[in-house]
C-alpha cells in the first residue's frame, strides 16, 4: 500500500500524540503513586494519636426492692460483635444476678442465692481481681472464691445468646471461729481447689495466710501440703485497703498514708519480708488499692481523690517502693478502682462521682467519663477494658463502650523518656512485648538514633574514599583509564545489599572482632557493631557518592584549572583551591544523597548491626535502625494493632527523614552554587 505524504504526516502526528499521552500518564502515575503511598502510611499511622473515646450504650435497673447500697460487687462482659452486654451483680445478702443489655434493649434480671453459699450468711466484703474473680467473705467466717463466667454462644437464629453464671472455685472455712469473732477487713483468695492461697487482712495490720499446695515431685498429686501462718506488722496505722498479686505480694494501705508490703511468695513456713513505706507526707488515708495488669505496679487511691502508681524500683542495690506517676485530686476520696486485663489502664471513681480513666505507662489521663443520671457508686471493667459498667445511686447499671485507641502509643509513648515498671530511671526503650504481663515499650528514639548513627558512620567511612577516588579519576588519571574505571566503580552499586550484609555479618564481623576487641578495653564490645556497619554500608554508599562527586568535579570548566596551572599553581593546589570549591555544590549533594541512601538501607543493618536498640556513641556497640525494625517486627504485628501502626509510623519517619535530607541537600546546593558556582 502506498502512503501519501499527508497520511504519513498524520501518522507521525498520531504517534506523537500517543507517545505524549503515554509518557504523561506514566509520569503522573509515578507522582500519584508516591502521594498515594504517603497517604496510606499516614492513614495507618494516624490512629495512634487519636484520643480515647467512650459512649454510653444503655442502662438496666436493679430489681424492685434492691437498692444500690445492697450491691457488694459488680462485673461486666460484652460480646465481640458488641451486640450484647452482661453485668453480674453480687448482693450483700448473698444473692446474685445478671443484668443484660441486648442490642441496647434492657433485660430485667432474676436474683438467686450464690451457689454453695453458706446457709443464711450475709456478705461482709468482696474483692475483685482479674476482672471476673470475686473473693467473698461471709459473716460466718467462710471465704469463697467465685468466678463470673459469661459466654456468647451462637443461638439457633445465628445471633449470639448469653450464658452466664457465678460458679464457686473453692471455699475456705477456718477451723476455729476466729474469723467470725473478729472478722478480717477482707479475704483475698487466689488459685483453685487443688492449690490455693487465702489471705485474711485485718484492720490492725495482721495478716493470716492459709495455703494449700501440691507436694513437689512425681507423686505430688497424692498429698497436698496445707500450711498457715499469721504475721503482724502492727505499724503504720489501721489498714483500709489491700491488694494481692498472683505471685503473693501483698500491699496494704493505711489511714495514715502508709503502704505496708508483705512478701508472701516464699516458703509457707518462712519469714515474710515486710516493709512500711510512707507514701504521703501529709499522712492522708489510702482509700483504695489495686494491682495493675501484670501484677507488679499498684495503683493507690487516697482520701484527697488523687491516684498514684507505685512499684518496687532498685535504689542503691535494694528494691524500694517508689512512685512512678500520679494524677492530681479529682475531688473527694477515691472510692473504687477497676483495671484493664490487657494493658496498664485503670478507671478510678471518687466520692464526688467523677469517673476518670488513666494509663499508667505514659502517665496520661485518657478521659473523664461524664456522669450520667445520678452519682456512680461502683465501676467494673471487663478484661479487654472495652466494656464499662457503673452502678448508680438510683439503682441503675449503666453500660458504656470504651475505646482506648492505642493508649501505650501517642507522643509520650514514642518520644518521651518514660519510667517503665521496674526501671531505675526514666529511659527511651524499644521493647515490643511478648506477653500481656509486661508493658510494651515503644520509644522510637533508639531507632531514630540507630538510623542516624548507622548513616553517619557509613559516611565517615565512605566520603573520604569516594571523594578521593572521584578527584583521582577526574583530575589525575589518564582519560582512557578513567573511561574504564568509572563504570567499574559504579558497578559496585549493582552488588545486592543482602550480599554485602551477608559478607559483613559472617566474615567481616568475626574478623574485626579478632583485631579490634583490644581497642574496646573494658567497655562492651559487640561483634556486630557500628564499625562493621561503617565499612559494610560504606561500600553500599561509595558508588552513589563517588559517581555524583565525579560528575561534579568533571563538570568544572577546564579553563579554570588551566588558568590556575598557568599562574604557577601546582596540580594539588589547583585541585584543592580551584576545582573542589567550584564543584562543592555537587560534592555536597553527593554526600547528602549518600546519607539519604544510608538512612533507608535495610538489609545490611538488619544482618550485621545486631538489631540492639541502644542509644550510645560507642563505635563498638550495635544499633537498630528504623528500616531494620520494620523488617524485624513485621511478622509479629497483627493487622490493626498498636505494633502494626507503630511500624507504619517508623515508615513515615523514614520517609520524612529522607525527604528532609534531600530537601536540605537541594537548598544547600543552591546556596553553594550561588557562592562558588558563578563561572
Partner 1 sequence: MTLSMAKKNLGKALLGVSCLFASACLAGDALPAYRQQSGVAGSVNSVGSDTLNNLMAYWGEAFMAIYPNVAVQVEGKGSATAPPALAAGAAQVGPMSRPMKGSEIDDFEKARGFKPTAVAVAIDCVAVYVNKDNPIKGLSLPQVDAVFSSTRKLNHADVTNWGQLGLTGEWANRNISMYGRNAASGTYAFFKEKSMGNGDYKNSVKEQPGSAAVVNGIAGDKAGIGYSGIGYRTSEVRALPIAAKDGAAFVEPEFKNAIDGSYPLSRLLYVYIPKDPAQPLPAATLEFMKFILSKEGQELVVRDGYGPLPADVLREQLQLLGAK
Q: Which residues bind partner 1 (CB under 8 A)?
A: 80, 130, 154, 191-192, 194-195, 214, 216-221, 246-247, 294-296, 314, 317, 319, 341-342, 383-384, 420-423, 429-438, 441, 446, 510, 513, 522-528, 610-614, 621-622, 632-633, 635-636, 638-639, 641
What is the nearest approach in angstroms of partner 1 to the Cβ of residue 635?
4
Identify each DSSP E strand in 411-523 by its residue range. Answer: 430-431, 441-442
In sequence order, the β-bridge partners of residue 322 are: 311
Nearer to partner 1, 523 or 674 (CB): 523
| C-alpha span between 348 and 334 (Å, rounded) | 7
10 Å Cβ neighbour count for 70?
14
- Least separation in angstroms between residue 310's CB and partner 1 is 16
The residue (of 248 and 257) whose beta carbon lies closer to partner 1 is 248
Backbone angles phi, psi at 454, to 5 degrees: -60, -45
**Which lies closer to partner 1 via its Cβ, residue 182 or residue 524?**
524
Helix axes 509-520, 530-554, angle to 10 degrees: 110
Nearer to partner 1, 88 or 446 (CB): 446
Minimum distance from residue 616 beta carbon to partner 1 (Å) = 9
Give the residue among 51, 56, 53, 52 at the shortest CA–CA distance from 389: 56
In 3D, which of 186, 251, 200 has the Cα closest to residue 229?
200
Residue number, 481 or 519, with CB nearest to partner 1: 519
Tally: H helices and E strands in the chain: 14, 31
Q: Produce one character per residue of 350-373: b if its CB has 16 or more CB atoms within 10 Å, e if not.
A: beebbbbbbbbbbbbbbbebeeee
Name the percent of the chain in helix, strand, coil, to the closest 5. 35, 30, 35
Q: Contact at 8 Å (CB) between 322 and 296?
A: no
Q: C-alpha grid cell for residue 609?
A: 548491626
Q: Measured from the CB of residue 156, what is the shortest distance to partner 1 in angstroms?
A: 12
Closer CB to partner 1, 287 or 293, in the complex: 293
Q: Are 361 and 417 in contact (CB under 8 A)?
A: no
Closest approach of partner 1 to the CB of residue 426, in Å? 13
Distances (CA, A) of 360 to 252, 284, 303, 345, 477: 20, 22, 20, 6, 65
Q: Which is nearer to partner 1, 332 or 422 (CB)?
A: 422
> At closest approach, how far in Å is the CB of 148 from partner 1?
13
Collapsed DSSP state (helix, strand, coil) of residue 576: helix
Rg of the chain taking only CA atoms, in angstroms = 35
Q: What are the backbone angles phi and psi of residue 534, rounded to the nearest 5°?
A: -55, -45
- Closest distance of CB 496 from partner 1, Å: 19
Pick the closer one to partner 1 by CB: 301 or 446: 446
**Min CB(404)–partner 1 separation in Å:** 12
CA 53 to chain centre: 19
In the complex, least distance from residue 342 CB atom to partner 1, rounded to whole angstroms: 5
Nearer to partner 1, 472 or 644 (CB): 644
What minimum distance in Å lies between the beta carbon of 48 and partner 1? 17
| DSSP H stretches of helix in 472-579 | 479-491, 497-503, 509-520, 530-554, 558-566, 571-574
Q: Which is nearer to partner 1, 154 or 226 (CB)?
A: 154
Interhelix angle for 580-600 vs 530-554, to 10°?
140
Tell the smallest beta-carbon distance from residue 290 to partner 1 (Å).
Answer: 15
CB of 434 to partner 1, least distance (A): 3
CA distance 194 to 665: 70
CB 426 within 8 A of CB 506: no
Cβ-based nearer residue to partner 1, 299 or 306: 299
- What minimum distance in Å lies between the beta carbon of 55 and partner 1? 19
**For residues 596 and 622, which CB has a smaller minimum distance to partner 1 in the complex?**
622
Strands 364-369 and 355-359: antiparallel
Residue 194 or 491 having the CB closest to partner 1: 194
- 171, 421 Cβ separation under 8 angstroms: no
DSSP assignments along 54-97, one per residue? EEEEEEEEPPTT--GGGEEEEEEEE-TTSSEEEEEEEETTSEEE
3-state secondary structure of 223: coil
Query: DSSP of 95-141, one letter per residue?
Result: EEEEEEEETTEEE---EEEPTTPPTT--EEEEEEETTTEEEEEETTS
CB 462 within 8 A of CB 594: yes
Find the shortest distance in angstroms from Cβ 118 to partner 1.
26
Q: Which is nearer to partner 1, 441 or 597 (CB)?
A: 441
To the nearest 10 degrees (0 to 180), the angle between helices 530-554 and 445-471 is 40
CB of 524 to partner 1, least distance (A): 5
Beta carbon of residue 161, minimum distance to partner 1 (angstroms, whole number)? 13
Residue number, 328 or 510, with CB nearest to partner 1: 510
Smallest separation, CB 435 to partner 1 (Å): 5
Identify which of residues 117 and 380 has a Cβ nearer to partner 1 in the complex.
380
Rank residues 90 and 419 by Cβ distance to partner 1 and give the closer one.
419
- Order of strands across the sheet with 206-214? 186-191, 196-201, 206-214, 224-232
**What are the cell numbers at 402?**
470504651
Closest CA to 306 of 332, 344, 283: 332
Amino acid at each position: 500500500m502506498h502512503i501519501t505524504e499527508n497520511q504519513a504526516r498524520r501518522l507521525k502526528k498520531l504517534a506523537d500524540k500517543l507517545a505524549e499521552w503515554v509518557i504523561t500518564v506514566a509520569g503522573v502515575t509515578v507522582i500519584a503513586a508516591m502521594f498515594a503511598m504517603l497517604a496510606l502510611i499516614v492513614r495507618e499511622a494516624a490512629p495512634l494519636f487519636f484520643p480515647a473515646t467512650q459512649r454510653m450504650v444503655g442502662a438496666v435497673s436493679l430489681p424492685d426492692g434492691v437498692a444500690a447500697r445492697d450491691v457488694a460487687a459488680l462485673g461486666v462482659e460484652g460480646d465481640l460483635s458488641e451486640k450484647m452486654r452482661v453485668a453480674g451483680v453480687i448482693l450483700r445478702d448473698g444473692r446474685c444476678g445478671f443484668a443484660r443489655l441486648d442490642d441496647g434493649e434492657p433485660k430485667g434480671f432474676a436474683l438467686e442465692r450464690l451457689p454453695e453459699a453458706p446457709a443464711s450468711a450475709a456478705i461482709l466484703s468482696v474483692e475483685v481481681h482479674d476482672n471476673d474473680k470475686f473473693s467473698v467473705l461471709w459473716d460466718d467466717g467462710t471465704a469463697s472464691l467465685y468466678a463470673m463466667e459469661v459466654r456468647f454462644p451462637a443461638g439457633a437464629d445465628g445471633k449470639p445468646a448469653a450464658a452466664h453464671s457465678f460458679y464457686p472455685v473453692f471455699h475456705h472455712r477456718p477451723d476455729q471461729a476466729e474469723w467470725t469473732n473478729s472478722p478480717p477487713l477482707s479475704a483475698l483468695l487466689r488459685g483453685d481447689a487443688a492449690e490455693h492461697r487465702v489471705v485474711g487482712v485485718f484492720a490492725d495490720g495482721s495478716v493470716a495466710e492459709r495455703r494449700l499446695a501440691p507436694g513437689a515431685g512425681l507423686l505430688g498429686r497424692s498429698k497436698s501440703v496445707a500450711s498457715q501462718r499469721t504475721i503482724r506488722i502492727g505499724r503504720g496505722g489501721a489498714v483500709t485497703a489491700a491488694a494481692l498479686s498472683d505471685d503473693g505480694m501483698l500491699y496494704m494501705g493505711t489511714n495514715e498514708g502508709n503502704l505496708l508490703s508483705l512478701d508472701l511468695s516464699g516458703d509457707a513456713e518462712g519469714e515474710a519480708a515486710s516493709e512500711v513505706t510512707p507514701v504521703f507526707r501529709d499522712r492522708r488515708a489510702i482509700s483504695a488499692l489495686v494491682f495493675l495488669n501484670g501484677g507488679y505496679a499498684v495503683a493507690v487511691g487516697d482520701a484527697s481523690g488523687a491516684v498514684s502508681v507505685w512499684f518496687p524500683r532498685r535504689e542503691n542495690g535494694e528494691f524500694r517502693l517508689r512512685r512512678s506517676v500520679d494524677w492530681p485530686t479529682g475531688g473527694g476520696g477515691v472510692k473504687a478502682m477497676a483495671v484493664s486485663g490487657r494493658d496498664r489502664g485503670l478507671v478510678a471513681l471518687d466520692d464526688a462521682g467523677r469517673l476518670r480513666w488513666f494509663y499508667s505507662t505514659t502517665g496520661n489521663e485518657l478521659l473523664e467519663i461524664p456522669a450520667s443520671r445520678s452519682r456512680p457508686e461502683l465501676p467494673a471493667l471487663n478484661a479487654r477494658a472495652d466494656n464499662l459498667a457503673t452502678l448508680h445511686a438510683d439503682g441503675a447499671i449503666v453500660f458504656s463502650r470504651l475505646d482506648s485507641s492505642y493508649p501505650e502509643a501517642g507522643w509520650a509513648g514514642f518520644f518521651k523518656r518514660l519510667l517503665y515498671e521496674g526501671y531505675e530511671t526514666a529511659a527511651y526503650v524499644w521493647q515490643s512485648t511478648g506477653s500481656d504481663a509486661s508493658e510494651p515499650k515503644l520509644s522510637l528514639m533508639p531507632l531514630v538514633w540507630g538510623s542516624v548513627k548507622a548513616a553517619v558512620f557509613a559516611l565517615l567511612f565512605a566520603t573520604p574514599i569516594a571523594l578521593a577516588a572521584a578527584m583521582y579519576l577526574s583530575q589525575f588519571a589518564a582519560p582512557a583509564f578513567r573511561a574504564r574505571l568509572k563504570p567499574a566503580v559504579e558497578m559496585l552499586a549493582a552488588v545486592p545489599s543482602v550480599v554485602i550484609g551477608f559478607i559483613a555479618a559472617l566474615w567481616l564481623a568475626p574478623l574485626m572482632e579478632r583485631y579490634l576487641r583490644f581497642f574496646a578495653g573494658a567497655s562492651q564490645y559487640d561483634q556486630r557493631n557500628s564499625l562493621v556497619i561503617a565499612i559494610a554500608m560504606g561500600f553500599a554508599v561509595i558508588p552513589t557518592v563517588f559517581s555524583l562527586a565525579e560528575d561534579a568535579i568533571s563538570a568544572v570548566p577546564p579553563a579554570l584549572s588551566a588558568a590556575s596551572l598557568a599562574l604557577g599553581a601546582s596540580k594539588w593546589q589547583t585541585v584543592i583551591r580551584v576545582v573542589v570549591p567550584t564543584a562543592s555544590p555537587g560534592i555536597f549533594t553527593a554526600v547528602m544523597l549518600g546519607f539519604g541512601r544510608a538512612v533507608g538501607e535495610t538489609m545490611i543493618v538488619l544482618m550485621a548491626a545486631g538489631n540492639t536498640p541502644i542509644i550510645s556513641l560507642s563505635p563498638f556497640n550495635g544499633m537498630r535502625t528504623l528500616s531494620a525494625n520494620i523488617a524485624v517486627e513485621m511478622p509479629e504485628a497483627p493487622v490493626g494493632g498498636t505494633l502494626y501502626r507503630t511500624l507504619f509510623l517508623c515508615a513515615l519517619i523514614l520517609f520524612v527523614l529522607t525527604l528532609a535530607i534531600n530537601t536540605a541537600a537541594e537548598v544547600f546546593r543552591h546556596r553553594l552554587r550561588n557562592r562558588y558556582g558563578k563561572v
